[in-house]
Amino acid sequence: MASHTLSVGEGVSVEILYCFNYLQGKDVFVAYGSGAAPGKGLMTLDFDQKKVQHFPIGDNDVYGGEICQIMATPDSEFVLLGVPATSSFCVFGFDKYKSALSLQKRVHVDGFRTFEMDRHATQLVFLNQRCRQLEFYSLKWDFEFKGSFKKDFETLDEA
């Protein structure tokens, strides 16, 4: 068994760690660290390249805050995270080659404490902190098919 260490920053403790699935031959994680800046916040940990990258959650910390949960779509194309302090649910795109995150969409969900998601990332349940209710949402993903996949998709109904 091989062991690798990677420093996320002095005075930073990793609070949440998410391991990507289906990244063949890569050991990449998304983490949320709290503590002293500059290491605090959202980051990717690439053990193969021995690289830590930090990413802002919000613009000038307007939407920043403690993260309650990190999850990803099954193909690791998108990372979903919740920021209850700002009632923000964020969707980040994940570049598998650069191990980089980019904010795609931010959705306001009032008063949630945490969320859960099905394994296909199509159904979300938020626990509303104020009225102690579960709020159910469905996600509709819009896929763009290219190359031979596009031809297969267009002829799918013909068969």
Q: Where are the domains of the chain?
A: 12-154
Q: pTM for the complete prediction?
A: 0.76
27 class by beta-carbon count within 10 Å (0-12 exposed, 13-18 middle, 19+ buried):
middle
Percent of the chain with pLDDT over 90: 1
Determine the Cα–Cα distance for residues 8 and 43; give it in Å rounded to an integer: 9
- pLDDT for 159 equals 45
Q: Tell me if 67 sits within 8 A of 32, measured CB to CB.
A: yes
CATH fold of 12-154, please? Methylamine Dehydrogenase; Chain H (2.130.10)
pLDDT in tens, 54-108: 887 766 555 667 888 999 888 888 899 988 888 888 889 998 888 899 888 888 8
Q: Tell me if 64 sits within 8 A of 78, measured CB to CB.
A: no
The neighbour count for residue 22, using CB atoms within 10 Å, is 10
